[in-house]
Structure 1
């Protein structure tokens, strides 16, 4: 058992990393997953056992919905005991949403789940996809004293590993597409991959992996701006079946102090809405 090869499951959902450019038109169309692996023969040099699962139809990440998160979590749960780590290839637009959702859905996680993708398709000469995929695999396989080095859901992009639920997309143009404004990177890749162990979530090692798939999408986000009409806020608060509202406010959490605004918010609270103020 001690000589068992490290096994990694690669899950392909879609996204730019899996697109191929037509040189005559410049348009993009989806690759099949085997073509992606053929573009990165270097991963065979790891000597790991690789398996793959792909969504029947690649999904543009702007079309990702909670059922796709449930499908992803189910794939991980179903294969959990067979693999040392998981790499999810995903489009960048909603990668941070998926990573955050999975971090709460996969309770008692003790193995790495690394999401990555690229800004350029993997068959483009200057693609960032190869490095992102290779380093994601290495991190997913990394162990310290026989245990996963990073037993949590993460995003790896452009030489940095971030906690999945503390990350956001910052650029559609640059290779460093993601950032974690209020939490340090968990690892940085240079000549070596340097892990920030003091920030990495420790696995308790107790309890089986548990899926939390009861997702309620009856929420709304209201971005406060100067001159926002109170009736806009009221219309959102009064949506039938709404469970929660996230208010994106100014500065350190400031919002209009006029009575009409406060009455509408107060009315929402009295109706049982959860109202969260973020800035």
Structure 2
């Protein structure tokens, strides 16, 4: 039985080719992808293509485009066995994180990929990323999808979408998952670490929750920062503070007063680490106790991309019972580690 996969092309380097008259890169009609990569015809899956009316640089992909992708998946969920989203690399981790929270009761693979070089380049990484992503998007065993979450495939590795980040603008191996092991690896054999995969524990029907709020702000703390500017940010429901190490900040009465003022103004404070690897451990050092005093929320080992997407999804979302803090602290889609 051939599995059916829908490719959603949003834009990005993977769909570019060189205009030899101008020397510039331009998007090509992705409906002609089979001419570019005839090997796709050899795959044991039926492939359909939906492309955005205007291919977007990933820096132009945000909440409205996330909703567009989620609605496309919802509309076609019963028709296709898997979904492959082709996306520019710069904001791919944000999109993957957002979709992981928006797609509820997901039991089919949603894979994102892209490339560092255009598909027409001699040394391109686009062909391998695209072909292997299609394998993962159509991988079933005993009539059940092997991957049932939002994942990102790049340079031979399958990563959890809400756990990864782009760390290199030049290497083919551009993405890492610093706080969670890889889900699979492509070599001579296509490997999947099934014990690491996220599976929903409900039999409820799939649906896309399009709720996203823009009343969130990410602020990176740095030595010498004037914290008095923070309470002046208007209309913010959640302030994500990216702090030092495992959760430290300069300890002073003034700092505590400013953070407390922010809380008293009705803004939740989420604390995440500036370190790529590891996470927040409030109380480990004395200079982290200030966050306990003001009732800040620990982001544990979540990435900045995932923290933003999760906050945007949870703010004033009536589908969730309990407070924002209670829900943010839960491991909803495998985005944080659950420590003993």
| 1:202 positional shift | 2.1
Cα distance in 1, alignment partners of residues 237 and 34 from structure 2: 43
Q: Counterpart of 2:125?
A: 128
Q: Counterpart of 2:189?
A: 192
Give the conservation status (yes or no) of the 8 Å contact 1:163–1:186. yes
Secondary structure, counterpart of 2:196 in structure 1: coil
Please say if 1:42 is aligned against 2:36: no
Cα distance in 2, alignment partners of residues 20 and 205 from structure 1: 44
RMSD, aligned α-carbons: 1.2
Give the conservation status (yes or no) of the 8 Å contact 1:36–1:122. no
| 1:42 positional shift | 0.3
Cα distance in 2, alignment partners of residues 206 and 147 from structure 1: 14
Give the conservation status (yes or no) of the 8 Å contact 1:15–1:59. yes
Cα distance in 2, alignment partners of residues 26 and 179 from structure 1: 32
Q: Which runs of 5+ in 2 are unaligned?
A: 274-340
Please say if 1:99 is aligned against 2:122: no
| 1:233 positional shift | 2.3
| 1:272 positional shift | 1.7
| 1:25 positional shift | 4.2
Q: Counterpart of 2:157?
A: 160
Cα distance in 2, alignment partners of residues 205 and 55 from structure 1: 32
Q: Counterpart of 1:79?
A: 76
Give the conservation status (yes or no) of the 8 Å contact 1:19–1:121. yes
Please say if 1:171 is aligned against 2:180: no
Please say if 1:201 is aligned against 2:198: yes
Counterpart selection for 2:261 from 249, 260, 267: 267
Runs of 4+ that moved beyond 4 A = none
Secondary structure, counterpart of 2:250 in structure 1: coil
Give the conservation status (yes or no) of the 8 Å contact 2:31–2:49. no
Please say if 1:246 is aligned against 2:246: no
Secondary structure, counterpart of 1:269 in structure 2: helix
Structure 1 stretch displaced more, 260-269 or 62-71: 260-269
Please say if 1:55 is aligned against 2:52: yes
Q: Counterpart of 2:272?
A: 278
Distance 1:205 1:139, change over 3 A: farther
| 1:111 positional shift | 0.1
- 1:101-127 per-residue CA deviation (whole Å, 9 max, x = no partner) reads 000000000000000000000000110
Please say if 1:69 is aligned against 2:66: yes
Counterpart selection for 1:183 from 180, 184, 209: 180
Cα distance in 1, alignment partners of residues 171 and 147 from structure 2: 26
Distance 1:37 1:261, change over 3 A: farther
Cα distance in 2, alignment partners of residues 211 and 174 from structure 1: 34
Cα distance in 2, alignment partners of residues 255 and 143 from structure 1: 48
| 1:23 positional shift | 3.6
Q: Counterpart of 1:115?
A: 112
Distance 1:227 1:39, change over 3 A: same
Give the conservation status (yes or no) of the 8 Å contact 1:110–1:205. no
Q: Which runs of 5+ in 1 are unaligned?
A: none
| 1:235 positional shift | 2.8
Cα distance in 1, alignment partners of residues 87 and 152 from structure 2: 10
TM normalised by structure 2 equals 0.78
| 1:24 positional shift | 5.1
